[in-house]
Homo-oligomer: A and B are copies of this chain.
Amino acid sequence: MNISLYFKKNFLVLNLIVLALILAVFVFIEPSVAEKSDVSYKFNEKGELIKPEGYREWIFVGTPVTPNDMNNGKAPFPEFHHVYIDPVSYKHYKDTGKFREGTILIKELISVGSKSAASGNGYFQGEFIGLEATIKDSKMFSKEPGNWAYFSFSKPDHTLPVNDTATAFPAAACNACHDASAAEDWVFTQYYPVLRALKMKK
């Protein structure tokens, strides 16, 4: 075989291999690139927040419980609250100690199911009864304190299913309390030990 022809043939084969490998690398790189740029919330064309999905697989940060029976039968936020942060914003907080632009925190409400179990007396979780969220977005909420807006998908009587969309509350409805009492950037980190532990390592 002519040596030029030999290299020419191999050159073509190698080009195909290189192309296949470049494609393969992009397939595997792509998710991590997406992770870095994406936010975990979407608004519809009416400007309503669409109920997030998959948040129970996000990073859990803490659970306060404000039971009805400790609040004259009707707690403002009944009763357990599972609080989650989206994974990209969690990583940012872990690295920098700050809530990034594009952070979404979820507060899922759970009823008290029982007050006594094999492990002792206390409060034990019952059913999911509501869903709330807060988002830090300086483009969408440039006039809100800290650029945080607050949303509730919960039905007024806490029956399921929760609503599919939610509109932002006026700042006074939520942010007044957050402004007065939240430890950090309008977030109640003082009650979220997972986030506090990250700060203590800095």
Q: List 8 A-B contacts (CB under 8 A).
A: A56-B194, A60-B82, A65-B122, A71-B120, A75-B119, A75-B121, A117-B191, A124-B190
A125 touches B181 (CB 8 A): no
Chain B contacts for A193, CB-based, 8 A:
110, 125-128
- Within 65-123 of A, Cβ neighbours of B (below 8 Å) are at 65-67, 70-71, 75-77, 80, 82, 84, 90, 110, 113, 117-123
Closest to A7 in B: B7
Identity of the chain B residue whose Cβ is nearest the Cβ of A56 in the assembled complex = B194
Q: In the complex the two chains form, what is the Cα distance from A64 to B194 in whole Å?
A: 16
B56 touches A59 (CB 8 A): yes
Contact of A4 with B by CB under 8 A: yes
Cα separation A5 to B140 with both chains bound (whole Å): 60
Q: Of the listed stretches A19-27, A145-153, A162-170, name the one at the interface; the rest are far from the partner chain.
A: A19-27
Nearest-neighbour CB distance to chain B for A147, whole angstroms, equals 20
Q: Which residue of B lies closest to A110 (CB)?
A: B193
Q: Mark A43-61 against chain B: 1 for CB-CB distance below 8 A, else 0.
A: 0000000000000110110
> Which one of A59, A63, A121, A197 has the highest number of Cβ atoms from chain B below 10 Å of its Cβ?
A63
CB closest chain-B residue, reference A71: B120
Of all chain B residues, which has the CB nearest A4? B3
Other A-B contacts than A10-B11, A75-B122, A76-B120, 11 sampled, CB-CB below 8 A, are A4-B4, A18-B18, A18-B21, A21-B21, A21-B22, A21-B25, A25-B25, A60-B60, A66-B120, A70-B122, A126-B193
